Structure 1
Amino acid sequence: MNKALLSLAFLLNAFNGSAEDTWKSNPNWLVLPSSKEKLGNMHGDVATSSNGDLYLSVGDAKAGLQVYGDDGTWKRNLPNAPSDLHGFVIRTEGEEEFIYGARVNAGEVLKMTLEGKTVLKITASSIPDEFKRKGKNGKPLVRLTGADVAQNGDVFVTDGYSSDHIHRFDKNGKYLNSFGGKDAPYGFRTLHKLVLDHRFEPARILGMDRANNRVVHMSLSGDFIGVVREGLLLPACVHVHENWAVIGELRGRVTILDKKGEVFRQIGANAQKDEIGTNRTPPSKWRNGIVTAPHGITCNAKGDIFVAEWSTTGRVHRFDRILSPDVTTERKELFNGKNLDGWKIPSGNDQVGWYKAERGTLALRSGPKKKGSVLWTQRDYADFEVDFEFRFVDGVIDSGIHLRNSDQIQIGISGSLKRDMTCSPYIPGKGYPVEAKNVSQLLKEKDWNQMKIRAVGPNYTTWLQGQEVMNYKSGSAKKKGPIGIQLHGNRNMKIDFRKITVTEL
């Protein structure tokens, strides 16, 4: 196939004639340090931290884990990082982020800080021999290929190059149990990598059953739930972002699945059989936006996709998340920082001062009678994203953002539950059907917090400090309506908002 046809095929894959998100290749994004001519041998993974930095594992004894900024410039090498991190993730715990990684050659699981300090090491000797495959020398063998951590600290690691078992440890590294393997009902053939899939409640394990060309779900206790998708091209790596599972396929493609397992998009497809599924495709055959052997994959907070190739030279793709041309992408101010223009001011506000513009801040204050109210936009909105910052000032905070009607994303203490439910949906008649994840670790009680809410049809998604924390599909959502900021009644509270913007989708 010639280059023109390949380019056309890529465009047809990327732009599917729908006003929905898609991705565009950002070529030559990565900038190597002046001392390096190439990244080096790559057979690992890639992950992003909360500040947008990209962590990339490379088979280099002196630079096993390299850190690049969002602009692609090299920042540093992680000290003491091993050169055989085959699969790793970055997860937030409290106020700190940690790397959880599987060492394929050493047979270890490591937990490290972003400064390179090892705080937990789990060795192969912790795993019972009955769950190991025997090597050529007759001795028990593990070759660990991927790892992730549950919210309670339990660590899950797959032995994808050996027994295909998943091993579970507690937060202190104590062995708990093993499941999976090559026998029924699992029947795995290279369970290459895994992630914890928090799109579901309770969370599930999403596994890449590579040689079976399928993606599978399991419970955290090891029950085989079922096949998510079959007929893929050696699925090797996965990252869950919003409602999508973004999957890198070793035979030259990236497939994005929705929560039901249906194909949402396919990008980077490579039709040249001599280039895919190998780590020896030379740079002379590389083409922008066309992958050869995806081995690691991640997304940043914006949904840009990063693909780490299996390559002796080393290569990382970046696909920037964009919207179709017929979708408005302009972010507009909802609050100008000076007055309440564009809002329907509640009757009595001039006397009591529930809502005031003060030096760029929208100040919400309970009145002497503690009467509740909602500040509504004058305009109605259909599908949108609203971004803003908020700060708890004083009192028992009970506020929220109304989405076209009485459906609301809570900010502060729930009056019914008597505990903080920030970022969770409050649905009249149902209460709080789901609870946002990791909010207690992310929320700053006396400082500014950044929140984003996306409302697309009945689907609500919230982010806190750039981290996705909640997905919910509402049965009471309206197609169009105003956006509201609530000041709950019967409270004595002060909360501030600023930088309130909206993007219509």
Structure 2
Amino acid sequence: MKVLGSGQYRFERVESWPNVPKYFEMGQPSDVAINSSGEIFVLSRGKHPVTIWTPEGDFIGSWGDGMFSATPHGIFIGKNDNVWIVDCGAHVAMEFAPHGELLRTLGNKNSASPTCEGRLVHAQPFNLPTNLAIAPNGDIFVADGYGGHKVHRFNSKGELLLSWGRQGREPGQFELVHNVWIDSRNRVLVCDDENDRVQLFDTEGKYLEEWTLGNPSGICIRDDIVYFAQLQPFEDKSNGRGSGSISLYNLDGVLLSSWDNTAGGNKDTLIGPHDLCVAENGDIYVCEVYGWRVSKFRKIQ
């Protein structure tokens, strides 16, 4: 067993997770989330966009065929177990019942807001959005990532309350709003990927501080521990291998544990970690876009 991480946060990689059925194609995984029953929902770019698995890796089912663009990007499961999909290519965020029934859509499908240059501070959503998170009061925070360079806050009814951000490198500006999460201190953590930092705001969009972090791509908070997937650029484009790392922080921004793609002497420990989620028992599930795989890292108790 190759031990990854350190201290109280040590993990081992589970080989060959999940158990993909014969002749079934998952596609390129983009994001992953867990519902209240512990079922793992994987969002992929392929014929079967949403697949559901047991923690042991057994296939449960799938839905979403033909419903998304070529680049669905983020998945988030709310307390009611409804599934949110942020479709980057279609410029929308959609809420589904757990079995795949579309309930509502935020944004105008296949119609981008004119914010590609980041010049329109108060422009409406969305332009190539990436992910979302739901606050305890039900407010929805959407990362309007590649084109919008903003964070949008909606109430639980889907009404837009405010937006903040524009393209740039100053505090409160973004180069790539790749992900977002709300912590127990009611702070909004924003993965500003290409600026190599995580910016923290209050729920009114007031800048608080930032943590320096290389290419923060994915984020998940569980029991006040902040888990990051850090997607590094290609090392060698000829073989498609990309580096990356997983890092765990406390809410004060102190690093607790981490490992990269070379951990354990295996250069394929991580192949482009794009996003992740964390189970109640501490196990981590990581979508690796360069490796076209989902990896499970079992926490060593």
Report 1:32-431 matches (<5 A). Answer: 32-36=20-24, 39-42=26-29, 44-60=30-46, 62-79=47-64, 82=68, 84-92=71-79, 96-124=80-108, 132-133=115-116, 142-183=127-168, 184-198=170-184, 200=185, 203-227=186-210, 229-230=211-212, 232-251=213-232, 252-270=244-262, 287=268, 290-311=269-290, 314-323=292-301
Shift of 1:134: 5.4
Shift of 1:79: 4.3
Deviations 1:133-187 (A, max 9, x none): 259xxxx971000111223322111111113101122222222221022244313
Is residue 286–residue 294 contact of structure 2 (8 Å, CA) maintained in 1? yes
Hey, what's the Cα distance between the residues in 2 that align with 1:52 and 1:143?
A: 30
Is residue 28–residue 45 contact of structure 2 (8 Å, CA) maintained in 1? yes
Q: What's 1:27 paired with?
A: 15
Hey, what's the Cα distance between the residues in 1 that align with 2:147 and 2:203?
A: 21
Hey, what's the Cα distance between the residues in 1 that align with 2:190 and 2:261?
A: 22
Structure with higher strand content: 2
Is residue 9–residue 257 contact of structure 2 (8 Å, CA) maintained in 1? no
Shift of 1:124: 3.9
Is residue 246–residue 258 contact of structure 2 (8 Å, CA) maintained in 1? yes
Per the alignment, in what secondary structure is the counterpart of residue 308 of structure 1? Answer: strand
Unaligned ranges ≥5, structure 1: 1-6, 272-284, 324-505
TM-score normalized with structure 2 length: 0.84
Shift of 1:52: 1.2
Per the alignment, in what secondary structure is the counterpart of residue 302 of structure 1? Answer: coil
Is residue 45–residue 87 contact of structure 1 (8 Å, CA) maintained in 2? yes
Hey, what's the Cα distance between the residues in 1 that align with 2:177 and 2:36?
A: 28
Hey, what's the Cα distance between the residues in 2 that align with 1:205 and 1:101?
A: 19
Hey, what's the Cα distance between the residues in 1 that align with 2:35 and 2:100?
A: 14
Go from structure 1 to structure 2 and tell me whether the alpha carbon gap of 1:71 and 1:108 turns closer, same or farther (over 3 Å shift): same
State the aligned residue count: 278
Q: Which runs of 4+ in 1 moved over 3 A?
A: 127-130, 268-271
Hey, what's the Cα distance between the residues in 2 that align with 1:219 and 1:233?
A: 23
Letter in 1 for 2:10: T
Unaligned ranges ≥5, structure 2: 119-123, 233-243
Letter in 2 for 1:99: V
Structure with higher helix content: 1
Per the alignment, in what secondary structure is the counterpart of residue 250 of structure 1? Answer: strand
Structure with greater contact order relative to length (CA < 8 Å, sep ≥ 6): 2
Deviations 1:324-344 (A, max 9, x none): xxxxxxxxxxxxxxxxxxxxx
Hey, what's the Cα distance between the residues in 2 that align with 1:129 and 1:89?
A: 23
Hey, what's the Cα distance between the residues in 1 that align with 2:43 and 2:253?
A: 29
TM-score normalized with structure 1 length: 0.52
Shift of 1:213: 1.2
Per the alignment, in what secondary structure is the counterpart of residue 58 of structure 1? Answer: strand
Per the alignment, in what secondary structure is the counterpart of residue 209 of structure 2? Answer: strand
Comparing 162-171 with 215-224, which one deviates more in the overlay?
162-171
Shift of 1:128: 10
Hey, what's the Cα distance between the residues in 1 that align with 2:299 and 2:17?
A: 14
Letter in 1 for 2:259: I
Per the alignment, in what secondary structure is the counterpart of residue 81 of structure 2? Answer: strand
Q: What's 2:241 paired with?
A: none
Letter in 2 for 1:76: G
Deviations 1:298-353 (A, max 9, x none): 01111101100113x62111111113xxxxxxxxxxxxxxxxxxxxxxxxxxxxxx
Q: What's 1:411 paired with?
A: none
Letter in 2 for 1:206: L
Per the alignment, in what secondary structure is the counterpart of residue 82 of structure 2? Answer: strand
Go from structure 1 to structure 2 and tell me whether the alpha carbon gap of 1:181 and 1:134 turns closer, same or farther (over 3 Å shift): closer
Go from structure 1 to structure 2 and tell me whether the alpha carbon gap of 1:109 and 1:286 turns closer, same or farther (over 3 Å shift): same
Is residue 303–residue 321 contact of structure 1 (8 Å, CA) maintained in 2? yes
Per the alignment, in what secondary structure is the counterpart of residue 162 of structure 1? Answer: coil
Per the alignment, in what secondary structure is the counterpart of residue 215 of structure 1? Answer: strand
Hey, what's the Cα distance between the residues in 1 that align with 2:36 and 2:204?
A: 29
Identity %: 22
Per the alignment, in what secondary structure is the counterpart of residue 45 of structure 1? Answer: strand
Deviations 1:237-289 (A, max 9, x none): 00001121000000210000112111100024338xxxxxxxxxxxxx973xx
